[in-house]
Structure 1
Amino acid sequence: MYKNSNFNVLMAVFLDFNQHSPPIYWAYFFLKF
């Protein structure tokens, strides 16, 4: 079971990364999971 704190941090990183990077890089980063 995922910890909510880790999930919140991950989402924050995703949002911050998406704001400062083109969608292609965000998609590549997402697909690496």
Structure 2
Amino acid sequence: MNILGNMFIECADFRRTGSAALDLAYVARRPR
């Protein structure tokens, strides 16, 4: 159960970081 919890936490952290990176890339690619 502990391993599953760690995997879940890592997955959530990866998703949050990934979404932040996607937002940054979207803002950087947006023409001004």
Scaled by the length of structure 2, the TM-score of the pair is: 0.57
Q: How many residues align?
A: 21
User: If each structure's helix is expressed as a fraction of its own residues, which one has the higher value?
Assistant: 2
Flag structure 2 segments of 5+ consecutive residues without an equivalent.
Answer: 23-32
Flag structure 1 segments of 5+ consecutive residues without an equivalent.
Answer: 23-33
RMSD: 1.7
- Bigger radius of gyration, 1 or 2? 2
Extract structure 1 runs of 4+ deviating beyond 2 A: none
